[in-house]
Amino acid sequence: MSAGTTTAQRAVQRRRIMPVVLISLAAGLGSVISTPHAGADAASMSASSAFRAGSGSPVTAYVTNYVAGTVTPIATADSTPGPPITVGSYPSVLAITPDGKTAYIVNVGSGTVTPIATATNSPGTPITVGNQPENIAITPDGKTAYVTDYGSGTVTPIATATNIPGAPITVGSGPYDIAITPDGKTAYVVNMVSGTMTPIATATNTPGTPVTVGSQPYAIAITPNGKTAYVTDEATGTVTPVATATNTPGPPITVGAYPENIAITPDGKTLYVANFGSGTVTPITTTTNTPGPPITVGSQPDSIAITADGKTAYVVNANIASGQGTVTPIATTTDTSGTPITVGTYPYAIAIMPATVTQGPAFTSGAADTVAFGVAFTFTVTATGDPTPRITSKGRLPSGVRFADNRDGTATISGTPRNAAAGTYPLTLTARNKNGTATQAFTLTVTRPRRSSGRAGVARAAPPQ
């Protein structure tokens, strides 16, 4: 057994003693961008750990009880626990379908996943996956759940309509974390022992070429525009950005000691990294991949989640010495930490249940693009909102280029600029739903073609402005 293998296995074993915290927000804040882990020590979850913001329908927090083999539903309005739901052996991680109808619980000891119907809190038939399942991620359309099988070196896809597992997908050694791009086309798997990240094409469940991302990668998060995946490396205290268009890793970003889970703000501008060994959280500006001053939180911060409005990051502190777990809120506008909230014993992760939310639209894609004359291109406009907003464009586009609303919260500007199209084209993009309207000034720049000369020395003139 290699030294890297031993280290990675110890890292996994360390988490086995820690139950997981799951906190739910009422409709005022809605869902969050979060780590893939979720669950909690139900017996110790205090009233202060059940957040309620504004008005909205009642929301239930589901809490995994690792040793008891149960899941406890908790009404967040008054922190009242319901009857425990029996699942498999050592339940640790859960994921919720986008419609909020089903919770999928990963049972590490049983090698299974238990579906729970949230309307009745009834567990379904356990779904057999691989050896030592660790994490789970669900596609944005809710049709497929992907489970990492640490002991098998595979990922098991589950069709959520039937809860039937598909053929295991072979990835690297020690697959631990998984994240899916916002368009649902690619699942990225972090292989802790191999030191790699494996892309999986979800349309065919075909693994691609592994990408080296460090000596002991642990967690992964993908920006809202899907362009960059960030991977933490516990061994080197760094975060590696990977360009998803080419699966090319960039220079590692130095953060704190033993960086573990990460979360990205909904606008994609800031990445927050929980440094387990430093007791800090490092903010990273994604436009430049520059780390900011570390933010002091509690002892052994492991996981982090950000509210849908992007205003607060909640950090789970394991506090192993005392055993008393806390959650530290961070105001993202100032990067200052607030008063810690007491939660369960040895917490290590956090997720916030999706709530029924009505949300006005907001653009999440860039405000400019530069393309070349005579070269085909596609730029994807993205906007958030509930219900899904329609997107329109006002302004002149160059000849050969068109705008199309995809009716799914995205639109495309695409084509091949031609017929003297070089120049700047200002557009006004508008996203609308029943809850509001958002506009964005967008600039498309078409560069001139290079001048070229033939044997006769006659230059081809560039198109007139």
Question: What does the pLDDT look like over 279-309, one tens digit per residue?
Answer: 999 999 999 999 999 999 999 998 888 877 7
Query: 405 pairs with which residues across the strands?
Result: 411
**436 falls in which pLDDT band (50, 70, 90)?**
confident
pLDDT exceeds cutoff 50 at 36? no
Contacts of 154 (CB under 8 A, 6+ apart): 130, 168, 169, 170, 171, 175
What is the separation of C-alpha 40 from the centre of its chain, rounded to a whole number of angstroms?
20
- Torsion angles phi and psi, residue 9, rounded to 5: -65, -35
Closest CA to 304 of 350, 342, 343: 350
pLDDT at position 210 is 96
pLDDT exceeds cutoff 50 at 48? no
Tell me how far apart the alpha carbons of residues 74 and 57 are, in angstroms, rounded to a whole number: 14
pLDDT at position 455 is 46
More confident residue, 403 or 51: 403
Q: What is the CA radius of gyration of the chain?
A: 23
pLDDT exceeds cutoff 80 at 432? yes
Mean pLDDT of all residues in 211-240: 95
pLDDT at position 97 is 87
pLDDT exceeds cutoff 80 at 218? yes
Please give the single-letter amino acid code of residue 323: G
Token representation of residue 53: 């913001």
Planar angle of CA 26, 27, 30, nearest 5 degrees:
90
**Cα distances (angstroms) measured from residue 370 to each of 98, 310, 376, 423:** 34, 29, 12, 10
Long-range CB pairs of 420-424, under 8 A, 24+ apart, other chains included: 420/463, 420/464, 421/373, 421/446, 421/463, 422/373, 422/446, 422/447, 422/448, 422/449, 422/462, 422/463, 422/465, 423/398, 423/465
Mean pLDDT of all residues in 407-427: 90
Question: Buried b / exposed e across 7-21, counting CB within 10 Å, b at 16+?
Answer: ebeebbeebeebbbb
pLDDT at position 450 is 65
> Residue ranges of the domains in the chain?
3-345, 359-447
Mean pLDDT of all residues in 94-100: 83
pLDDT at position 69 is 84
Mean pLDDT of all residues in 409-426: 90
| pTM of model > 0.75 | no
pLDDT exceeds cutoff 50 at 46? no
Residues in the chain: 465
pLDDT exceeds cutoff 80 at 197? yes
**39 falls in which pLDDT band (50, 70, 90)?**
very low
In terms of CATH architecture, what is 359-447?
Sandwich (2.60)
In terms of CATH architecture, what is 3-345?
7 Propeller (2.130)
Q: Write down the mean pLDDT value for the chain.
A: 81
Beta carbons of 126 and 110 less than 8 angstroms apart = yes
More confident residue, 22 or 130: 130
pLDDT at position 33 is 32
Contacts of 174 (CB under 8 A, 6+ apart): 5, 8, 9, 12, 150, 153, 191, 192, 193, 194
- Indicate the DSSP class of residue 323: -
pLDDT at position 53 is 28
pLDDT exceeds cutoff 90 at 181? yes
pLDDT at position 360 is 78
Q: Which strand (E) or helix (H) includes residue 86?
A: strand 85-86
3-state helix, strand, coil in the chain (%, to 5): 5, 45, 50
Say which range, 108-122, 147-161, 318-332, 364-378, has the weakest mean pLDDT: 318-332
Token representation of residue 310: 């992007």
Tell me how far apart the alpha carbons of residues 298 and 316 are, in angstroms, rounded to a whole number: 8
Q: Is the peptide bond before 387 cis (omega within 30 degrees of 0)?
A: yes
Mean pLDDT of all residues in 451-458: 48
Share of the chain above pLDDT 70, in %: 76
